[in-house]
Amino acid sequence: MASTFFGLSIATSGLYASQASMNTTAHNISNANREGYTRQNNIVKANNAISTNNTYGMIGTGVYTDSIVQIRDQYYDTKYRTQNAIYGNYSTQEYYLLSIENCISEVNAEGITKSFDNFNTAMQELLKDAGDNTKRTQVSSMASGFTELVNSMANTLEKLQSDCNEEIKTSVEQINSLAEQIASLNKQINTIELSGQNANDLRDSRNLLLDQLSMYANITTSETTLDNGMSTIFTVRLDGQILVDNYEYNKLEVKPMDIYYNQNDIDGLYNIVWSNGQEFNEVSETLGGKLQALFLMRDGNNLENVTGKGTGAAGSTKLTLTDTNCNDLNKLYIPAENGVVKIGAMEYHYSSFSCTVKDGKYTYEFELTTPLSKGVNGEDVEIGKSVTTKGIPFYMNQLTNFARTYASNFNKIHNDGQDMNGDAGVDFFTGNQANSTRQYEFDDTVKDFTFKSVVDPDADKNANDNLNATYYSITCKNFTVNKTIVGDPNKIACTSKIVDGVSKNEILEKLVGLKTDTSMFKQGTPDMFLQKLTTDSGTDAKKATIFTKSQENILKVVDNQRMSISSVDQDEESMDLVRFQNAYNLSSKVIQTMNQIYDTLINGLGI
């Protein structure tokens, strides 16, 4: 039989339950604007009923607050983080592609196409009077202005690659920091929940960190409840590899490389490794996020690296490459030294290479820094890294291609002429050797030849104290006008025979005609090549902006769906507050009523 005071006990349980619910509602309201907060709800259950000896059987004993839980849907968390990684990828690509566009496009009246036109206009003026020293000086000046603009664009792209490289390092540091915080929170959560309580606010902090982490790469999470039913094992995988394993985390490290993927790469490109020795696949198609975009922008060459069939004996440091995809010196962008050779899953480094050109076919021989571990006989070989994206290296390669192609065609005509002194025309365009005052000199008279990637400052020095080289030695960074012509504009060759007079300037006419030569580039004339380059950069940037905006909208939709479940709706909380207040008042009313009953029972009846 229930106690006489049983009703008071039931009402008190209702009072406590209502008060606990109001406290949770107050907590929701006070955290409504806090980033990452998840709405909480009290789970209220009936107390165990007790048996009576009466015919009506079991009677209720009131209520109790079983737990305070978060209102959150794991499905939308996963969906949001997947979309956030895509957004991080697109937005990062957009930033760098817009920067490339700003560098290359005709954003003002002094763009690359305008500068090239100024040079050609100066040559057309020289046609009117080839003996005019002022006009010759103008040609030299405009040519120098054009090459310096190409150099400036290359330097800007180089700085952009350096920024991208540093951002990879910063991103890795941020990933490590987030992983460390998540591992620490895992321990705090388990410590609290072992006592039977839910660590809701700590879980909010962890979920917020996971949202931030998903911006950098594709992540997946799993939480497994242990046999005790209270503690869990929480893991985070980054592109399939374990980043956080409950209380521990695997650290990522960046290491500056002493090798290059492309000819114009900066020194000290970073690669990423796991601190536990696992390989980190930076070219993984599933990496996603900001990190993937940074590698695409830093290394993206639009598949313009060299591939072919390799031959080499086991234990040898010589690797021969035939049947290659590159049989054009002007489109050879692999590093002259300290490059990478990939044969299947094996990777080797080379110190230099030579190339033999015969009947228009290129055969490469690479000098490896370590011997081949096994024989190579016709296997597929890749030099550098194949990246489909048009990143910074692609645009630097395009500028290099233009410099080499235009220089070789221009010099070939200029070499056939004579200057004002009757001397053979020198190379008009050339390249500066790094860290030297010497320039390169070229010989296009030999059809079949062999060249070495590394120019020896002693063995390749000629009588002019310049260096014999091929047009492979010209890049967008060192492209320049021959210092002999800059110092003496009379060295500009306008005629094939100066004895016929300066007015017979058929060489200069051919040089001017190069501007409309449609056979020089597959895009058409030199102007068309430059216009296509600026158009491509603008198109790539615009596409990236469209993708970013579209993905931003998708992310907002998913986040709104997620927030519709887990965020605090102040109108709903206001109604809950009234509801719990009414329940509290009713429980108080029961207690008041029971008090009157007990007063009558005890004092009125004299018990």
pLDDT along the chain (607 residues), means of 10: 74 93 94 92 90 73 90 95 98 97 74 93 95 95 97 97 98 98 97 90 96 98 86 95 96 96 96 92 94 97 94 96 93 95 94 91 95 94 94 97 97 95 94 89 75 82 85 96 96 90 88 95 94 93 97 97 93 93 93 86 72
Q: What share of the chain is helix, strand, coil (3-state, %, to 5)?
A: 45, 20, 35
Q: What is the dihedral of CA 337, 168, 538, 429, to 10 degrees?
A: -20
Identify the bridge partners of residue 418 per DSSP, sorted by sequence position: 424, 495
- The whole model's pTM is what? 0.91
Residue-level pLDDT at 55: 64
Q: What is the DSSP letter of 420?
A: T
* 135's tokens: 């006009």
How far apart (Å, rounded) are the C-alpha atoms in residues 136 and 126?
A: 7
Identify the bridge partners of residue 67 per DSSP, sorted by sequence position: 43
How far apart (Å, rounded) are the C-alpha atoms in residues 358 and 447?
A: 8
* 445's tokens: 């008279």
Identify the bridge partners of residue 465 per DSSP, sorted by sequence position: none
Asked if 35 and 208 count as a contact pair (C-beta separation under 8 A), the reply is yes
Query: In 373-455, which residue ranges form alpha helices assigned H by DSSP?
Result: 392-415
Residue-level pLDDT at 61: 86
Q: Give strand ranges (E) for 359-448.
A: 361-368, 376-383, 429-431, 440-442
How far apart (Å, rounded) are the C-alpha atoms in residues 44 and 67?
A: 7
Asked if 343 and 359 count as a contact pair (C-beta separation under 8 A), the reply is no
Of the candidates 550, 538, 562, 537, the one whose C-alpha atom is nearest the C-alpha of residue 86 is 550
How far apart (Å, rounded) are the C-alpha atoms in residues 54 and 70?
A: 42
Residue 155 to residues 119, 235, 242, 501: CA-CA distances in angstroms?
21, 44, 39, 42
To 10 degrees, what angle do helices 133-193 and 289-299 make? 160
Identify the bridge partners of residue 461 per DSSP, sorted by sequence position: 467
How far apart (Å, rounded) are the C-alpha atoms in residues 393 and 265?
A: 7
How far apart (Å, rounded) are the C-alpha atoms in residues 95 and 87?
A: 12
Residue-level pLDDT at 2: 58
Asked if 300 and 329 count as a contact pair (C-beta separation under 8 A), the reply is no
E strand or H helix that includes residue 63: strand 63-70
Q: Over the stretch 173-198, which tens digit does the pLDDT of each residue have?
A: 999 999 999 999 999 999 999 888 89
How far apart (Å, rounded) are the C-alpha atoms in residues 143 and 523?
A: 22
Query: In 31-132, which residue ranges form alpha helices assigned H by DSSP?
Result: 74-104, 112-128
* 293's tokens: 């975009």
How far apart (Å, rounded) are the C-alpha atoms in residues 337 and 269?
A: 15
Residue with tokens 């320039």: 439
Q: What is the DSSP letter of 105?
A: S
To 10 degrees, what angle do helices 133-193 and 74-104 make? 170
Report which residue type is found at 455: V
* 567's tokens: 């965020």
Asked if 36 and 207 count as a contact pair (C-beta separation under 8 A), the reply is yes
Asked if 504 and 497 count as a contact pair (C-beta separation under 8 A), the reply is yes
Asked if 8 and 587 count as a contact pair (C-beta separation under 8 A), the reply is no
Q: What is the DSSP letter of 600?
A: I
Q: Over the stretch 567-606, which tens digit does the pLDDT of each residue have?
A: 999 899 999 999 999 999 999 999 899 888 888 878 877 6
* 358's tokens: 């015969």
Half-sphere exposure of 557 (CA within 13 A, CB side): 7
